[in-house]
Amino acid sequence: MEKTVAILMADLTGYTAMTDVHGGESAAKIVHKYMQLVDKSLSGATQLVQRIGDQVVLMSENPLDILLSARQLNESTQEEHQFLSIHAGIHYGPVFLENGNLFGSTINIASRIMNLANRGQIICSSAFVNSVGAHPGVSFKSFGIHKLKNVMNEVEVFELSTNASPALPVDPVCHMLIDPGKEHYTFTFQEKTFHFCSTHCLDIFKTNPESFANLD
C-alpha cells in the first residue's frame, strides 16, 4: 500500500561516544529512557514505525502531528539530566508500506536530511514545510540547498524553530547533557569551565584536554 506521509528520523547525538566511555549497560539504559520519551512525545496520529539502535522513525499522514512530536521530543531530551540531545530530519512524500516496513525515496531523503542536523536541530525539507503551511507559533529558517548522497536532485531544507530551554552544558567526553544544579564535577581549561557526569569523565578529560575542548 502506498500513501503520502510525513517522516521523522531522529538519532541521539553522541551515542557512540557515550557507549564507548560508559559501556553497553549504560547505552541500554539510555535507549530505554529514550523510548519512554519518544512514546510521550507522539502527537495526534503520529506513530513509531521503526527503531534501530538509537535511531527512531516516526510517521504520520498529518504533517502537523509530526512537527509537534518532533518539537516535544527535542525539548524533552534537552531538559533531561545525564542524557543526550537528538538531531532529526523530516521529509514529506510517498512511501510504500509492506508488513510494517517502509520503502521509497522519502525514507532515504529523511535519513540524509537528519545527517545534516547538529545537536538539538530539527531540519526539514521544503516539501515538508509546504505541507505544514502557516500555523501560529510555527516558523522555519533557511538551512540552504544541499546535494544529498545518492539523491538525484538538490534539496532545499529549513531548520524548525523550537521552544527548547537553553541547552544544558555537554560533558565533552561522553556528550551527555549535564544539569549544573545536579552535578558538581567541573574543570576549567583555557578560561572555559567544562561540566562532567562523573569523576571518570573528568579524569579522562584531564589526560588530554585539547582533544575534547572543542566540542560543539
Please tell me the predicted confidence (pLDDT) of residue 85.
94
- Other residues' Cβ atoms within 10 Å of the Cβ of residue 61: 14
Percentage of the residues of the chain whose pLDDT score is greater than 70: 97
**pTM for the complete prediction?**
0.90
Radius of gyration, alpha carbons of the chain:
18
Q: How many residues does the chain have?
A: 216
The string over 102-135, giving b where at least 16 C-beta atoms fall within 10 Å of a residue's C-beta and e elsewhere, is beeebbebbbbbbebbebbbbbbbbbbbebbeee
Q: Nine-digit cell at 82? A: 545525564
Contacts of residue 20, defined as CB under 8 A and 6 or more positions apart, other chains included, come to none
Please tell me the predicted confidence (pLDDT) of residue 165.
63
Please tell me the predicted confidence (pLDDT) of residue 166.
64
Please tell me the predicted confidence (pLDDT) of residue 101.
78
Domains of the chain (ranges; CATH) run: 2-160 (3.30.70.1230), 168-216 (no CATH)
**Of residues 111, 74, 104, the one with CA closest to residue 90:** 111
